[in-house]
Amino acid sequence: MPSDKFTQITHDAFLKYILSDRGAAIAFMHNFISHEVASQLDIEAYEIVNSSFITEKMRSRMADVLFDVPVKNTKERVVVSILIELKSSPEKFVGFQLLEYMALAYRAQIKQKQTPQLIIPLIYYHGKQHWEYPELKDYFGKLPESVVSFLPTFKCLFIDLKHKSDEEIDSIEDDLLRTAIYVQILRFIDSIDRSILIRTFRGLRTDMGRNYLHYIFVYALSNSNINPDIFINFIDDFPPEVKSEAMTTAEQLRQKGIEQGIEQGIEQGIEQGIEQGIEQGILKGIEQNTIAVVIQSDKNGIPIELIANITSLSESEVRVILDRNK
């Protein structure tokens, strides 16, 4: 069973974990670095960064993902660092953050008497809000060109996930990365039907590893409008091990929601009465479609014990729902 820490996944941490897989990392660089740049790099020979000039302070402030990649057709081994910044929301002064990071890195290289190692920054933006990456000169208003020329300038590769077409994503050959990208796109979709689930999860395989599968399901179910009923019916077509992981994850999240709801209910109970607070907490933790099944089943005369069995709720949870909806 994967650790409970996997039930809390931030947007940036999700892709960072996916890129810990070598195949996914290679596919990411091939598909999200411009062809002009990628064609000059030996991406398959990349190494997860071990650059000595990266200090712990720099790691904590920037550098979501950092890869060392050899340059092709050079007499000596020349390596560039690919700095991948994962952003789920716009940041007004991100250009200055990148400038500071790169300046510190180059200064550290010089202090350590290293041959300067080029850093290529790439921002991967996967948020819902509109965001256009500004160049440094854009922060300073309308200045004469002769004055603007004193600004430090550098190129930054900027990827906005919302602008990626299905054809571009489908061209990603690595199943893990392609699935992860489509899972992120689910956040942009209000109504998710079966065809979208097929497109999103068709690349899942049992040999991806349980932790990667768990990460994908937790992120998808926690950050999108997937209807649980549609999802449960859909996963019947999964390979047995993938189906088992999906069901386990869905149940873990449901139970965690109930527990969190109970905790919130107890906190409310301090002011409103413990019993009422716990009832409200339980209801908050149970999916609305499950509540509807409980109510309709009761109207049809189905016993509480059988309703609990059908919905995987406890009998006490069923009673709370029925009492609150009389």
Q: What percent of the chain has pLDDT over 70?
A: 77
Between 322 and 166, whose confidence is greater?
166
Q: Do the beta carbons of residue 308 and residue 270 sit within 8 Å?
A: no
For 209-256, the pLDDT digits (tens) are 878 888 888 888 888 888 777 777 788 778 777 887 777 776 666 665
User: Average pLDDT for residues 107-130, to the nearest whole number?
Assistant: 88
Say yes or no to pLDDT of 170 above 70: yes
Residue ranges per structural domain of the chain: 4-238, 287-326
pTM, full prediction: 0.72
The count of other CB atoms within 10 Å of the CB of residue 56 is 7
In the β-sheet with 79-87, what is the strand arrangement from edge to edge? 47-48, 65-70, 79-87, 119-125, 157-160
Say yes or no to pLDDT of 79 above 80: yes
User: Average pLDDT for residues 195-217, to the nearest whole number?
Assistant: 86
CA pseudo-torsion sign 100, 27, 91, 9: negative
For 255-312, the pLDDT digits (tens) are 655 555 555 555 555 455 445 544 555 555 555 556 766 777 777 677 787 777 666 6
User: Average pLDDT for residues 123-132, to the nearest whole number?
Assistant: 92
How far apart CA 278 and CA 320 sit, in angstroms, is 9
For 4-60, the pLDDT digits (tens) are 444 457 888 888 889 989 999 999 999 999 999 999 999 999 987 654 455 555 555
pLDDT at 267: 56
CB-based contacts of 42-46 (< 8 A; 24+ apart in sequence)? 42/69, 42/70, 42/71, 42/72, 43/69, 45/69, 45/70, 46/70, 46/82
